Every structure is written in C-alpha cells, then in structure tokens.
C-alpha cells in the first residue's frame, strides 16, 4: 500500500525525534542513528518504541549506503540549531 508522501513529511522517530527513511520495498521506516525500523501496516506507520525492531547489520549497511547515495530521503530535514 505504501506511505502517503504528505504524511511522511511530518514523521519523526519517537525515540530520538530525528528523521526516518522510508524503505518502500520493505514497507518500513528506518532510523539509521539507532539501527531500528518501524513497520507500516496498511499504510499506517506503527511508531511505537516498543514495537520497533532492530535492523540486522548487513541490512542496515545496505540502507545506509542507499541513504548516502541519495536513494532514500529523510522524512524531514531538521532545522539547524542556533546559538542564542
């Protein structure tokens, strides 16, 4: 079913509040900082920390390469921190 692109733009990881990466063929949202994934059920992301799964190192390396190559995009781009 996939993920609605408008919805994807506002999603953040509930654990670290950072952006996620949609992996369409696996129907999941991947957090490269934590090496964790959140499943998508019927187009609805299940963003419950207790239901996230660890991504095995070879798969994580593949996803990380795809991110570095620009194949996977973040759900949002964090605003730069400012010193005030």
The CATH number of residue 20's host domain is 2.20.25.10
pLDDT at residue 13 is higher than 80: yes
Q: Which of 8, 79, 84, 16 is nearest to 43 (CA)?
A: 8
Supply the range of the domain harboring residue 10: 5-68
Q: Do strands 44-45 and 36-41 pair parallel, antiparallel, or not at all (unpaired)?
A: antiparallel
Rounded CA gap, 57 and 41, in Å?
24
49-56 long-range CB contacts below 8 Å, 24 or more apart?
A: 49/14, 49/15, 52/15, 55/30
Q: Is residue 74 part of a domain?
A: no
Domain count, the chain: 1
pLDDT value at position 3? 83
Q: Is residue 23 part of a domain?
A: yes
Confidence (pTM): 0.89
Q: Choose the weakest-confidence range: 12-16, 51-55, 75-79.
A: 75-79
Q: Is residue 20 part of a domain?
A: yes
Q: Is residue 56 part of a domain?
A: yes
**Greater pLDDT, 9 or 38:** 38
Q: Is residue 81 part of a domain?
A: no
State the average pLDDT for the chain. Answer: 92
Q: Is residue 43 part of a domain?
A: yes
């Amino acid at each position: 079913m996939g993920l609605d692109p408008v919805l994807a733009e506002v999603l953040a990881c509930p654990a670290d509040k950072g952006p996620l990466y949609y992996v369409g063929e696996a129907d999941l949202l991947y957090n490269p900082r934590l090496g964790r994934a959140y499943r998508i059920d019927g187009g609805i992301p299940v963003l419950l920390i207790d239901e996230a799964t660890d991504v095995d190192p070879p798969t994580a390396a593949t996803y990380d390469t795809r991110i570095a190559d620009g194949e996977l995009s973040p759900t949002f781009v964090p605003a730069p921190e400012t010193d005030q």
